[in-house]
Structure 1
Amino acid sequence: MNVRRLIPTAAVAGAVTLGLTALSACSSSDAAEGGNGGKLDVSASFYPMQFLAEEIGGSHVSVTSLTKPGVEPHDMELSPKQIGGLGDADYILYLKNVQPAVDDAVTQAGVKNTVDAAGLTTLESHGSEVDGHDHGAEEHEGEEEAGLDPHIWLDPVKYAEVAEGVGKSLEKADPDNAADYRKNTETLVAELNKLDKAYETGLKNTATKTFITTHSAFGYLAERYGLTQEGIAGIDPEAEPSPARIDEIHHVAEESKATTVFFETLASDKTAKTLAKDLGLKTGVLDPLEGITDRSAGADYIEVMESNLAALQKALGAK
């Protein structure tokens, strides 16, 4: 079931820096002239993009992530060295409106083969607009202005759409290895489809459909599987909720018979634990998969998503 056993994972080039996936837009013969032993030099913005680049690129790519493990990607900054180095990438894979610093650096880099994952699927409005409050507007002006939720990777179906688009872009960037990219994409999409079916089956019959989370990152996942996400704050995991929102959450928890307040590994759990204590609820981890660390409940995207499913099943009273 593990994709990474089927698809060779390229070594992360150098120290894993703040996250941008630059996949090479050159042909393999062009890349061979560089210093990567014939591999495409790929720069990834953060983990969800890195995972796609490594799984689809396989042995033909050398992937560098701009976001270090353990760093919360939304507010990270790039060093001058990272910004300057982006222009040397063969291919860049990023997700617009998640990391403002990366968006600016990508524009400056001017790399021909630059792919915005947001353009490979359809974005929708979730999070701060769903609960009617303007959470985190200052921190994420781009998201608020567009009114769109960028957390597409937490929906296996949308992530599979992005994977297919990345595969096609790699085929164009490196036509000599197009067959391998196509095969790797098909393998990954099959794994994501399997994950989708596991979620669909595992969350079909539950005692409650509502889950409470500190970070409103799970709008696509909730919509896909008929659940209701109640975010304490908005899209920004560090945003402080208003007293009015806390009161609302108290009411929602009672009405929906919610059992758990979820927090994440890369942000503070203080608000979640305080609220859970006030309400007499449990706490749990629901990982938005913005980075993999030794605290993650899995070694890669597939494993952590499986852990998230188990956590949701327990919290929602799956039958």
Structure 2
Amino acid sequence: MFVTRKNKNLFAALTATALLVTTVACSPQTQATGSDQVQVLAAFYPLAFVAEHIGGERVSVTTLTPAGAEPHDLELAPAHTRKIGEADLVLFQTAFQPAVDEAVRARDPKNVIDSAHLATLALDPEHSHADEEGGEDDHDHGPNDPHFWLDPELLSSYAGEVAEELSTLDPAGATEYAANLEQLQLSLEHLDQDYSDGLATCKTRSIVLTHAAFGYPAQRYDFDQIAIIGVDPEAEPSPAKLKNVAATIGELGINTIFFETLVSPKVAQTLAGDLGISTEVLDPIEGLTEPDTSYFTIMESNLDALRTGMQCS
């Protein structure tokens, strides 16, 4: 199980905290269930997913980005900005959603977890905004790929941080948070093994996709991503970029172009049609588009799509 040393120590600390519950039950920082749930405000889905799984019924989680919306383009109403200042815990990621960054600076909430420190994978140095049209309006993601949650091990580390913070805010729930953390991390370990096994033997170790969102799984499971657009899912590729990608597809024998759920598939479908190859969906899980899906179901669907596109046995 890929629980870090810090999280192993966390289990012991949380258990010790739970033994002290009777002495802190009336403390102002102690939270109860029902109307006194810990109020967590998550900027977008993967952060909310973790908080919900760790917190269970002791936590009420609100997500700023609506289901089906592109999180990069989120605009906040004054009521949403106020909620950031009122929440017991705010989960966000610097440089991923400018409106949220601005609101966090303005409201200065007491308790925050900024997941940006987990997003350490540098963007492809070969990618240039010169390859895209309308580059002046591109989203600024900072120097690194923000999509750390597509690596199960990194998401497991993030879950440990959330459990630790919730236990500080709600000592009475420490045992429950520790148990929920252990269960979530075990599920993430199984998911990681599914990917390692499923992508072990493949005809090609390169994928072509519209949005450069899969750098973390590419690094962890040893394949290359070739992005048509780059990290900004709404940019338009230049004719020169399309020509280069088409040549690469031919050279590597790639038979699939991937596109994602929250942006137009037009670029991928047009290029695939011109080349006589297939398209598949790879979902970066920035938000949900279907009510019966979750992080785990989408990650398994992504694995199936990768196995098809990479021609794995």
How would you bin the TM-score normalised by the shorter chain? 0.7 to 0.9
* Aligned CA distance change for structure 1 residues 302 and 167 (closer, same or farther; 3 Å): same
Tell me whether 72-81 or 27-36 shows the greater mean CA deviation: 27-36
Tell me whether 190-199 or 132-141 shows the greater mean CA deviation: 132-141
Q: In the alignment, what sits opposite 2:139?
A: 140
Query: Post-superposition shift, 1:139?
Result: 2.3
Q: In the alignment, what sits opposite 2:195?
A: 199
Q: In the alignment, what sits opposite 2:93?
A: 95
Question: Displaced runs of 4+ in structure 1, greater than 3 A?
Answer: 27-36, 130-138
Q: 1:44 aligns with which of 42, 45, 64?
A: 42
Q: In the alignment, what sits opposite 1:81?
A: 79
Query: Post-superposition shift, 1:36?
Result: 5.6
CA distance in 1, matches of 2:32, 2:165: 20
TM-score w.r.t. length of structure 1: 0.84
Does the 8 Å CA contact 2:211/2:229 hold for their aligned counterparts? yes
Does the 8 Å CA contact 2:31/2:169 hold for their aligned counterparts? no
2:297 corresponds to 1:303: yes
Q: 1:216 aligns with which of 212, 216, 224?
A: 212
Q: In the alignment, what sits opposite 1:71?
A: 69
TM-score w.r.t. length of structure 2: 0.86
Q: In the alignment, what sits opposite 1:124?
A: 121
Does the 8 Å CA contact 2:31/2:38 hold for their aligned counterparts? no
Query: Post-superposition shift, 1:96?
Result: 1.6
Larger radius of gyration: 2
Query: Post-superposition shift, 1:214?
Result: 0.8
The one-letter amino acid of 1:201's match is D
Q: 1:257 aligns with which of 235, 253, 259?
A: 253
Q: Deviations over 1:107-127 (max 9, x none)?
A: 2121111110123x3511134
* Aligned CA distance change for structure 1 residues 71 and 288 (closer, same or farther; 3 Å): same
CA distance in 1, matches of 2:276, 2:87: 51
2:226 corresponds to 1:230: yes
Does the 8 Å CA contact 1:31/1:41 hold for their aligned counterparts? no
The one-letter amino acid of 1:232's match is I
Q: In the alignment, what sits opposite 2:309?
A: 315
Query: Post-superposition shift, 1:137?
Result: 6.5
Query: Post-superposition shift, 1:265?
Result: 1.2
Query: Post-superposition shift, 1:314?
Result: 0.9
Q: 2:263 aligns with which of 264, 267, 292?
A: 267
CA distance in 2, matches of 1:311, 1:29: 50
CA distance in 2, matches of 1:313, 1:175: 44
For structure 1, the residue ranges without an aligned partner over 5 or more in a row are 1-26
Q: What is the aligned-residue RMSD (CA, Å)?
A: 2.1
Task: Count the aligned residue pairs.
Answer: 286
Q: Deviations over 1:235-286 (max 9, x none)?
A: 1111111222111101110111111111111100110101111111101100
Q: 1:188 aligns with which of 168, 184, 189?
A: 184
Q: Structure 1 vs Structure 2: percent identity of aligned residues?
A: 42
Q: Deviations over 1:201-221 (max 9, x none)?
A: 000100101111111100011
Q: In the alignment, what sits opposite 1:19?
A: none
